[in-house]
């Protein structure tokens, strides 16, 4: 039976929607929600709809004063987390226990407290009444529990450790010691200032991020998610090892509408992994391709898993959202190029084919629906021309509605629009919890000066060595990023780890005097390593989710994912050592040369790791190619020239050897 929207549906064993949901619930805390009926179902539906309408109102007519805007946003988020997310993963999901109803009511109290007491609290200038003190402590407890349920244990543990550090400061080792914070001080900092829970992370969540999550929900309703798969098959399906390249293409596109590596894996992997297995890829490799590509979706502009919005605020300097997206373009291109190259060589090594004509979709029918991409293109064009980010997202939502009205397969009605508003609000719940918990961490760092202490300690431990300091920051970012969603792990790593790079590259320099490109390179470094924690064992959630689809071993899938994503372990070093990649204050010639040498370097490294180029590589050839690739990636003219010469020699040897039929042949599929 043929579906003219895409590949013939019975060609490959795709995961059912129920199986996809089960996988999401297992590996993605944000998907483990209740499904209640009766009156509570409608209360939740109407409440989430009200959440979206509130956010749309403020996006159109302007936000309320900071504390009111953020606490209402927080209150909505906490309330529905306690109604939708069970206290235990295996708890019943068809009813809401009484204690969660109590927690939801307390969340409403916390969420409305600033609105009801705004005048008094503003005039009090930090002088708390007894009730204020208890409300502040209650807010901290509710945020920690909400984060545990909706985001996961790792970020909750980190936040608790930071609170303990703030409280027990005088008992800390000498290099970390500080005067300590009382409970009253912590309550004031976390809920009655804009440095804690109500700080920058939740500020961004309550403005930019929410509107873009709505945009993503409307894109899903218009059928863009499935269209990404169909378009990827139409463009890459017939290439060597086509299904793997379809996975890369599709996942890169899915990353523009999803804020979760695991969700990307399940959404596009349920479609691409069965294709790869059918055409000869091993289970672990098929899962690894999808995990690596889906994780890269978080690095892909324009949305970058919502971290781009946070970067604008954290970097400051009047930098615009578009400058962040532009700076991310070449690194993202190199990341996906690296995966593409390695899957190509693996397909050549195994002798795998692309899809046959019978397995391909009707290309003409696929390309006729290219108009489905109009909302994404519109948003990019609007931001490029200087339209404010929130307004661009609003226009994108309107474009989705218009496109949905003309798409006969997924024609949008009033109920579909309401459902999209509810889905957008539901998606935002995990982000609310993550950014609120991240605010706790940021607040402690700001109040205690921990960021500077850790930065100084890391630089001293590395003996001032640039590469060793970057290595230590990489390890810290990987550990801090494990199990945390994109928004939270960027906030954590940029607050704790990025200062070490700035301390190294611009010692004893005031933040506002450090060159912008230096600040951006430090933030991109920790951002990359925080993201690829999702495919780095032992906690490789994206790889584990992919293994749930492929049936492969989770750890082996994670190892293969990390191998395929080798570019992601190299690119951050390139960004710091060769900031031209970020396209800030550089000439076109510099950009072209750096990009060219990096891509050639990726080809050499990919061939060396896979062990195949035009023919199978001997062990010493693999070492030579990896060395040549690293030489081209290292930002020095001499190393670039040496690397290019070695690469050219190896290319000629491979080409001539293959032409003559010498050397081992590809393994038959």
User: Mean pLDDT of all residues in the chain?
Assistant: 84
Closest CA to 198 of 33, 64, 321: 64
Domain ranges of the chain: 15-198, 587-669
Task: Please choose, from the candidates 94, 496, 579, the residue with its C-alpha nearest in 3D space to the C-alpha of residue 327.
Answer: 579
pLDDT in tens, 155-175: 899 899 999 999 998 888 877
Q: Exposure pattern of 266-275 as b/e (b: 16+ CB <10 Å)?
A: bbbbbbbbbb
Question: Does the structure show a pLDDT above 80 at 318?
Answer: no
Tell me the average pLDDT across 141-165. 91
Place of tokens 């690596």: 292
- State the DSSP H helix or E strand holding residue 339, giving kind and residue range, or none if neither: helix 321-350
Instruction: Report cis status (omega within 30 of 0) of the bond before 667.
Output: no
> Closest Cα partner for 108 from 35, 49, 47?
47
Contact 539, 483 (CB under 8 A): yes
Residue recorded with tokens 């990919």: 606
Band of residue 235 on the pLDDT scale cut at 50, 70, 90: confident
Model confidence at 3, pLDDT cuts 50, 70, 90, reads very low
pLDDT tens across 494-525, in order?
888 888 888 888 877 777 788 888 889 999 99
Q: What's the count of helices (H) and strands (E) in the chain, helices before strands?
A: 31, 0
| C-alpha closest to that of 526 among 581, 469, 565 | 469
Predicted confidence band at 143 (pLDDT cuts at 50, 70, 90)? Answer: very high
| Residue 15: predicted pLDDT | 65
How large is the average pLDDT for residues 56-63?
Answer: 92
The pTM for the full model equals: 0.84
pLDDT, one tens digit per residue, over 174-194 is: 777 888 889 999 999 999 998
Task: Indicate if the pLDDT at residue 263 is higher than 70.
Answer: yes
Phi, psi values for residue 616, rounded to 5°:
-65, 140
- φ/ψ region of 509 (left if φ > 0, alpha if ψ in -120 to 50, else beta) reads beta
> How far is residue 311 CA from its own chain's centroid?
13
Q: Of the spans 137-141, 358-362, 565-569, which averages the highest pLDDT?
A: 137-141
Phi, psi at 332, each rounded to 5°: -65, -40
* Cα 344 from chain centre: 25
**How much is the average pLDDT of 623-651?**
87
Which of 421-425, 593-597, 610-614 is predicted most confidently?
A: 421-425
Q: Residue 269: what pLDDT?
A: 81
- Residue 612's DSSP bridge partners are 616
pLDDT of 662 strictly over 80: no
Tell whether the model's pLDDT for residue 9 goes beyond 80.
no
Q: How many Å is the Cα radius of gyration of the chain? A: 25
Of 529, 533, 541, nearest to 573 by C-alpha is: 529
The average pLDDT across 351-375 equals 84
pLDDT tens for 73-103 read 999 999 999 999 998 877 788 889 999 999 9
Say if residues 442 and 205 touch (Cβ distance below 8 Å).
no
Task: Tell whether the torsion through CA atoms of 413, 419, 422 and 427 is positive or negative.
Answer: negative
Model confidence at 4, in pLDDT bands (50, 70, 90)? very low
Q: Are 29 and 150 in contact (CB under 8 A)?
A: yes
| Residue with the larger pLDDT of the pair 306 and 496 | 496
* From 554-558, 564-568, 659-663, the region with the lowest mean pLDDT: 659-663
Q: How confident is the model at residue 346 (pLDDT cuts 50, 70, 90)?
A: confident
Decide if 75 contacts 107 (C-beta within 8 A). yes
Quick check: 310 pLDDT over 90? Answer: no
């Amino acid at each position: 039976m043929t579906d003219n929207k895409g590949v013939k549906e019975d060609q490959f064993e795709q995961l059912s929607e129920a199986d996809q949901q089960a996988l999401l619930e297992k590996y993605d805390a944000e998907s483990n929600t209740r499904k209640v009926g009766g009156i509570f179902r409608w209360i939740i539906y109407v409440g989430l709809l009200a959440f979206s309408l509130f956010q749309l109102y403020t996006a159109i007519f302007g936000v309320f004063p900071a504390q009111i805007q953020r606490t209402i946003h927080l209150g909505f988020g906490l309330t529905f987390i306690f109604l939708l997310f069970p206290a235990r993963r295996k708890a019943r999901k068809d009813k809401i226990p009484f204690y969660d109803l109590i927690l939801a009511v307390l969340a409403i109290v916390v969420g409305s407290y600033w609105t009801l007491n705004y005048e008094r609290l503003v005039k009090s200038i930090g002088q708390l009444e007894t009730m204020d003190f208890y409300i502040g402590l209650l807010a901290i407890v509710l945020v920690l529990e909400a984060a545990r349920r909706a985001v996961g244990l790792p970020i909750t543990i980190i936040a608790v450790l930071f609170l303990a550090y703030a409280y027990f400061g005088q008992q800390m080792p000498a290099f970390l010691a500080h005067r300590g914070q009382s409970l009253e001080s912590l309550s004031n900092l976390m809920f009655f200032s804009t440095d804690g829970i109500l700080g920058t992370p939740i500020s961004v969540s309550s403005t930019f991020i929410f509107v873009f999550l709505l945009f993503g929900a409307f894109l899903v309703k218009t059928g863009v998610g499935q269209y990404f798969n169909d378009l990827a098959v139409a463009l890459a399906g017939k290439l060597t090892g086509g299904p793997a390249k379809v996975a890369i293409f599709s996942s890169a596109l899915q990353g523009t509408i999803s804020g979760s590596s695991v969700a990307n894996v399940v959404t596009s992997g349920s479609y691409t992994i069965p294709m790869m297995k059918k055409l000869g890829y091993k289970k672990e490799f098929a899962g690894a391709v999808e995990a690596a590509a889906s994780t890269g979706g978080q690095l892909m502009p324009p949305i970058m898993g919502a971290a781009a919005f946070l970067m604008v605020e954290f970097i400051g300097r009047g930098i615009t959202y578009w400058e962040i997206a532009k700076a991310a373009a070449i690194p993202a291109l190199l990341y996906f190029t690296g995966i593409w190259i390695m899957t190509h060589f693996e397909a050549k090594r195994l002798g795998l084919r692309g899809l046959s004509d019978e397995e391909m979709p009707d290309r003409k029918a696929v390309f006729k629906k290219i108009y489905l991409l109009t909302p994404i293109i519109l948003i990019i064009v609007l931001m490029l021309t200087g339209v404010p980010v929130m307004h661009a997202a609003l226009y994108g939502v309107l474009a989705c509605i218009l496109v949905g009205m003309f798409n006969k397969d997924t024609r949008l009605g009033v109920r579909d629009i309401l459902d999209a508003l509810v889905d957008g609000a539901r998606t935002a719940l995990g982000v609310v919890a993550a950014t609120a918990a991240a605010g706790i961490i940021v607040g402690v760092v700001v109040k205690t000066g921990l960021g500077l202490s850790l930065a100084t300690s890391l630089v001293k431990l590395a003996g001032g060595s640039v590469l060793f300091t970057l290595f230590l920051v990489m390890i810290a970012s990987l550990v801090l990023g494990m199990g945390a969603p994109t928004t939270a792990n960027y906030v954590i790593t940029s607050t704790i780890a990025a200062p070490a790079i700035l301390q190294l590259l611009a010692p004893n320099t005031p933040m506002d005097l450090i060159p912008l490109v230096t600040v951006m390179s430090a933030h991109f470094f920790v951002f990359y390593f925080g993201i690829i924690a999702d495919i780095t064992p032992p906690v490789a959630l994206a790889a584990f989710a992919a293994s749930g689809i492929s049936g492969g071993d989770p750890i082996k899938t994670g190892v293969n994912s990390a191998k395929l994503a080798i570019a992601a372990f190299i690119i951050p070093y390139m960004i710091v050592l060769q900031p031209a990649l970020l396209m800030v204050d550089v000439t076109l010639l510099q950009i072209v040369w750096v990009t060219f040498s990096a891509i050639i370097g990726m080809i050499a490294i990919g061939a060396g790791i896979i062990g195949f180029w035009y023919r199978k590589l001997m062990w010493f050839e693999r070492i030579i190619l990896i060395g040549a690739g690293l030489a081209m990636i290292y930002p020095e003219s001499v190393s670039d020239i040496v690397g290019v010469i070695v690469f050219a020699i190896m290319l000629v040897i491979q080409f001539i050897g293959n032409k003559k039929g010498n050397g081992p042949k590809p393994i038959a599929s």
